[in-house]
Structure 1
């Protein structure tokens, strides 16, 4: 069985859960002798591809090979990559990226899409699995089936958080209407797909994700001389982007008084880029400027941050799955989660929940977790058990079953 993946998410994401998902999926499926994988990609700055490269260093088989070259940090080669063929592209896509992206990203987009179209036209695959929602590929499929993964329905639920130039909602609707099979990454996402599109339940398969830090459980993955950042404890950990529905400002404003009351307590923010001028201005206005820190991370630093935090807080209004939950669980970090969307589905009884629009609910949850050692230990123990139910191997095997059903039905 030959699977073709396209370039999309590896062009637009330097970090992120979706590119992590596809890297982990390809890494596991590459070990299956019945599957041959092709990633249509020429250039990428995606950090998760580096992790895929590292976790498979020196390992080759007849269905995937990873480049060991160190001289080019922005390119990873997976079977059949080759050189892009110069040809005219009818549809470039990603209009919002074209407005804001630096020139190297735009050049990567053009060359990567040329490569995707070239491989689509060669027709040497059984199933096409696009990595995002640009429908550029529809005219090149030539009756070959494609499968679509839906990560969330955030554009449909919270359209005001997105630019008018963001066509994600339109593209997604078009692809949902034409795909042969849909993967949803949670039951919550599946329900939202049916609510907004009218798709019947039997067309959607739920496939859970795994723990992004899973591979670090192997001792030889840890760099002995790695220099970790100095952390001032105790601290609460916030992970990921801080815009819009991620609800970061609600979180910060809600716990301001708690930060002032506890002079040693701090907030560390991991990922999402350095603080903006407007964020720093708000911290200053709230008089907590010195209490909120940003940390540039990689997987080793993330693990270190979780392991030393008194709590991880996830105040998001909506998530299709919520990978940081599994990261926190695996690192013995108590998780405080919004009681919305998929988060209770993933966290179950291993997390403490709060109302993401009620400051008192958040404050009460934080104070309980950081002050009650018995409750903290209970959450930690349950989290370590809960994370065992999620693995990338399970993700890969469930996805392979869907590929099989699609190909042989």
Structure 2
């Protein structure tokens, strides 16, 4: 089996969120697998702006690469969503895509970032569906972006032979909103990533000191500054908590890219008097993320909408107690290993924070259950589920399903 994997949309600066890291780990596992005793061959469809990064990542593997997108000026004004929309539209018009997969001898096209940009008739395409947030929170998108997203998913419906959803929730919502046939839908949970490895104790302390988080205990929220991540509501709850419980020493640490879009967040921090209680660390290297996660008092995750919730599994894998929203896919992922709250109600967030910080039994229970829960989300399981879906699609060799 030879699989072409479209990684063109991936920006290695983290601006596409956690899906980038999952995709890289998945490709590593797929490259080690066999299909009916034959090695799986992988060819990455890369872009001029990320080809070298993928060359470095897969330098010791048999993974091949083909640059299919030349250099483009993505530094123009606009957010990452606008940039990627313009990029995909340009790529659709490029003649280089015609016949490319056949020339490469590809059996299947895999699109881990959803877009079926390099689809060719007669070659099955499988798209990963991460979430369809725009259908539930359209107010978070401008009209142009909303129109693009709906057309984007309609194209997936028209061209993909199958979709792999990252949770049962995502599968159910994609079927509900787009009418994709159930028999062409699969679920593959994201796996715990092996990238988050701790350095030596000395290096850990150096990282904590460099990032200014080596003193008081802190809650950790790793998320890009997109509106659905609900940073403002978290800050509102945290501000109220700090006023009511000045005796409890606790800070709030944020990581995530898109720093140009978080001016509103930082302004809110100043107005709420939280400057000394919050840290914005930006986009961090894997080793730094591991250290910040390892030393936090707990993960807090107030997102309004998720298709999976990768940080939950990462935190549980470190044995960290998890506080999270009771919405969308999050209860499916965290199970009984989290303390839940309604992300639209600050008082519930306050109560969850108070319970975590004042009840050692709650912390111990969540930590133990979290480690057990994290074991369900292995990379091997994820890769196996994807491979089974690929094999099933190739057996069916049916034309793409269209949405209702």
Residues in 2 aligned to 1:279 and 1:358: alpha-carbon distance in whole angstroms: 18
Asked if 1:41 is matched to 2:74, the reply is no
Alignment correspondent of 2:246 = 262
Alignment correspondent of 2:402 = none
Deviation at 1:223, TM superposition (A): 9.8
Alignment correspondent of 2:232 = 249
Asked if 1:271 is matched to 2:256, the reply is yes
Q: Helix, strand or coil: the match of 1:238?
A: strand
Alignment correspondent of 1:73 = none
Pair 1:192–1:165, CA change in 2 (3 A): same
Asked if 1:145 is matched to 2:146, the reply is no
Residues in 2 aligned to 1:24 and 1:99: alpha-carbon distance in whole angstroms: 24
Asked if 1:27 is matched to 2:34, the reply is no
Alignment correspondent of 2:389 = 402
Deviation at 1:405, TM superposition (A): 0.9
Residues in 2 aligned to 1:112 and 1:304: alpha-carbon distance in whole angstroms: 44
Asked if 1:192 is matched to 2:173, the reply is yes
Residues in 2 aligned to 1:123 and 1:192: alpha-carbon distance in whole angstroms: 35
Q: Helix, strand or coil: the match of 2:307?
A: coil
Deviation at 1:258, TM superposition (A): 1.6
Residues in 2 aligned to 1:298 and 1:356: alpha-carbon distance in whole angstroms: 28
Match of 1:228 among 187, 192, 207: 207
Alignment correspondent of 1:18 = 19
Asked if 1:293 is matched to 2:276, the reply is no
Q: Helix, strand or coil: the match of 1:26?
A: helix
Alignment correspondent of 1:360 = 347
Deviation at 1:174, TM superposition (A): 2.2
Kept after mapping to 2: 8 A contact 1:339/1:356: yes
Kept after mapping to 1: 8 A contact 2:195/2:286: no
Q: Helix, strand or coil: the match of 1:280?
A: helix
Pair 1:2–1:370, CA change in 2 (3 A): same
Q: Unaligned stretches of 5+ in structure 2? A: 397-404
Deviation at 1:215, TM superposition (A): 4.2
Pair 1:256–1:223, CA change in 2 (3 A): closer
Residues in 2 aligned to 1:251 and 1:374: alpha-carbon distance in whole angstroms: 24
Residues in 2 aligned to 1:224 and 1:6: alpha-carbon distance in whole angstroms: 39
Deviation at 1:46, TM superposition (A): 8.9
Pair 1:97–1:233, CA change in 2 (3 A): closer
Residues in 1 aligned to 2:218 and 2:125: alpha-carbon distance in whole angstroms: 45
Q: Helix, strand or coil: the match of 2:336?
A: helix
Residues in 1 aligned to 2:68 and 2:225: alpha-carbon distance in whole angstroms: 36
Residues in 2 aligned to 1:352 and 1:342: alpha-carbon distance in whole angstroms: 15
Deviation at 1:206, TM superposition (A): 0.6
Alignment correspondent of 1:383 = 370
Count matched residues. Answer: 375
Residues in 2 aligned to 1:159 and 1:355: alpha-carbon distance in whole angstroms: 20
Deviation at 1:209, TM superposition (A): 0.5
Alignment correspondent of 2:192 = 211
Pair 1:176–1:284, CA change in 2 (3 A): same
Kept after mapping to 2: 8 A contact 1:337/1:353: yes
Kept after mapping to 1: 8 A contact 2:14/2:257: no
Pair 1:178–1:42, CA change in 2 (3 A): closer
Residues in 1 aligned to 2:91 and 2:27: alpha-carbon distance in whole angstroms: 23
Match of 1:171 among 144, 147, 152: 152
Alignment correspondent of 1:392 = 379
For normalisation by structure 1, the TM-score amounts to 0.82
Q: Greater shift after overlay, 381-390 or 27-36?
A: 27-36
Alignment correspondent of 1:306 = 293
Residues in 2 aligned to 1:350 and 1:358: alpha-carbon distance in whole angstroms: 21
Alignment correspondent of 1:324 = 311
Q: Helix, strand or coil: the match of 2:123?
A: coil
Deviation at 1:43, TM superposition (A): 2.5
Residues in 2 aligned to 1:134 and 1:96: alpha-carbon distance in whole angstroms: 20
**What does residue range 103-182 of structure 1 map to in structure 2 within 5 Å?**
119-120=100-101, 122=103, 124-138=105-119, 141-166=120-145, 167-182=148-163
Residues in 1 aligned to 2:216 and 2:363: alpha-carbon distance in whole angstroms: 16
